[in-house]
Amino acid sequence: MTTIAIVGAGPGLGAAVARRFGREGFDVALVSRDRGRVDALAAELAEEGVTARGFAADVRDPKALTAALDAATATLGPIEVLQYSPVPQREFMRPVLETTPADLVGPIEFSLYGPVAAVQQAVPGMRALGRGTVLFVNGGTAVVPHPDRAGTSVAFAAESAYGHLLHDTLAGDGIHVAQLIIPGAIIPGHRRKDPAVLADILWGLHQDRHGYRHFADDLDAA
């Protein structure tokens, strides 16, 4: 059996994706800074019949993230699906004219260096399998920059460009790379932005394997 690794796993979207892919027979690696949180979620999933394990790593520490994904592979098996969806920190969202070079370090580490480290670790295993999927989940500022959210606007744009490059480069290896844009907030009960609905969309992206950028809702709904 193969594994989905969810980087930035939490009780909302991460848990919903874990359940959705778990129902399809995937083992689940839950990666987060908070080891206690992902261990508790893994135990909850186990009660529902999903094989899951928690792994601790800060996405701003490439060595720690690489080690966590390596441990996930050793524990659960090869990573077929990699989802990168950690929630940005509030301090990344500063007005553009108040944003200094130092203020951009965190967002770039979070949204560019982290994905690069994760992809570099996961793709060799996908190539060995002969298949794989990389899923990037971003907010609306990835495509429409906001002057009051300079850090995420800049860093998400970089992550988007990196993902698009991967989409074109890895297609010949049987590895599909896709981005899901979620304008505004994830909202339980929302017809398009409920975590379970979004998890279904992400499963569909893995299954259908067409196109790079997809939208969960209209951009003006943010």
The domain spans of the chain are 3-221
Read off the pLDDT band of 11 (50, 70, 90). Answer: very high
Assigned superfamily of 3-221: NAD(P)-binding Rossmann-like Domain (3.40.50.720)
Which pLDDT belongs to residue 73?
A: 98
CB burial string 84-103: b at 16+ within 10 A, e below: bbbebeeebbbeeeebeeee
pLDDT band at 152 (very low <50, low <70, confident <90, very high): very high
Across the range 110-138, mean pLDDT stands at: 98
Tell me if residue 55 falls in helix, strand or coil: strand
Query: Residues of the chain with pLDDT > 70: what percent?
Result: 99
d(CA 123, CA 69): 11
> pTM to 2 decimals?
0.96
| pLDDT bucket at 84, cuts 50 / 70 / 90 | very high
| Distance in Å from the first CA to the final CA of the chain | 38
180, 216 Cβ separation under 8 angstroms: yes
Contact 31, 83 (CB under 8 A): no
| Lowest mean pLDDT segment, chosen from 58-67, 83-92, 119-128 | 83-92
Instruction: Look at residue 161 in the predicted model and tell me its pLDDT.
Output: 98
Q: Is 149 helix (H, G, I), strand (E, B) or coil?
A: coil
pLDDT at 220 over 80: no
Average pLDDT, whole number, for the chain? Answer: 96
pLDDT of residue 219: 85
Residue 200: pLDDT above 90? yes
Residue-level pLDDT at 221? 57
pLDDT class for 65, splitting at 50, 70, 90? very high
